[in-house]
Structure 1
Amino acid sequence: MPPITKERPLSISLQETLTLLSALSLAILSPGPAIIATIQAAFAHGRERALPYGLGLATGASLWCLAALFGLAVLFRLNPALLSGMMIFGGCYLLWFAWRLWRGATQPLPAAAQGPKHGAWRGFLGGIALNLSNPKPALFYATLILSVFPRPLAGAEQAAIYAICLGTEYFWYALVAVLASTGAMRLRYFAAKFWIDRACAVAMALLGVLLILEH
């Protein structure tokens, strides 16, 4: 009678981890609504407002990672109308966001750039809302996870993947918010506020239109 052997538990290798980190980092830093909004917030309001906002954006993106792990991306593929509706809604939200940036380009900054004490919490929630307005990250995460981990994933592995993605999102958004809010960067922003805000508004509007057209 052959000896009974225990099935070897699935594990995430170093190569898989590095591949996931690299692909996700490139996606985060590529020009998109979230990274543009983080930079503009850092320029306009400084670190105390931009950092919570960036962390909110990272949290919102990580929720799409959870959605992909739980199969929401499969639901989108099975029900294209649901995805189309969310993309149209998200595109309209980005257009509204762009309109606010465009209008704010001609307005002076408030006297206290850091704002009231509750501004950090409000910025954090605003960051989550902006990233949740775009359902495309759910499909990106689903494709990324399936390509890097082409096998059934145990619950512990799913938790580890989410932790890696959340940490990566937090790291890059926090770094961008901190670097863009330095004194030298903000001085350059103040010197060209009108043009920077208008450029960010145009970029955000184009991304919104593309999101609507892609549905």
Structure 2
Amino acid sequence: MALVGPSGAGKTTVAQLLGRFWDVRRGVIRIGGHDIRDLELESLMEQIAFVFQETFVLHDTVYENIRMGQSVSREAVLEAAKAAQIHDFILSLPQGYDTVLGEQGTKLSGGQKQRIAIARTLLKDAPVVVLDEATSYADIENEGKIQAALTALLRKKTVLVIAHRLYTIQHADRIIVLDNGRVAGQGTHQELLAGQPLYQHLWRLQSAEADKPLMEVRT
């Protein structure tokens, strides 16, 4: 399922409600048929993995940044990094997986940080995955790698995708359009293109932006 809409429409808030950053005042959010308010917070967090737009990196080694305290083998960490399309980059670092990241260590690009976050999420293997603008900071090369990583991550998962770039979610089985905190429409990409004005508007804007030349050459 994907959430789309203008900035400030409430997309990230929906994801935060799922993780009980706040509780709903009306209605119910259920996972596996259970009201999430009836679950212990630790139990709820075991079932959900988040990849947020703003990805944090600890002042620690790459290995520990992926492992995040989980009791897993080194081989499992390497396999998660490979699936997240970040393994080869890690090997190019001065000390490989033992390279220290963070403010006083090696700096990463936004796309590299997001692939580290995807590796963490793969390692956690939670049944529910929330992706909040997971390709937002990626350039064209990194976006392709992140999309490949997400393909590995999302197999057999329940997924909530928050997206700004509509082309990244046009194959979602269900797209919900939010506007000013309310559901303005829902359906498949083709259904929304056929009859949802806000979705049509957003698609036209992004299509026009994609068609613009990179630069104007004058002679």
Instruction: Report the TM-score when normalising by structure 2.
Output: 0.23
Q: Which has the higher strand share?
A: 2
Which structure ranks higher in relative contact order (CA pairs < 8 Å, sequence separation ≥ 6)? 1
Between structures 1 and 2, the one with greater helix share: 1
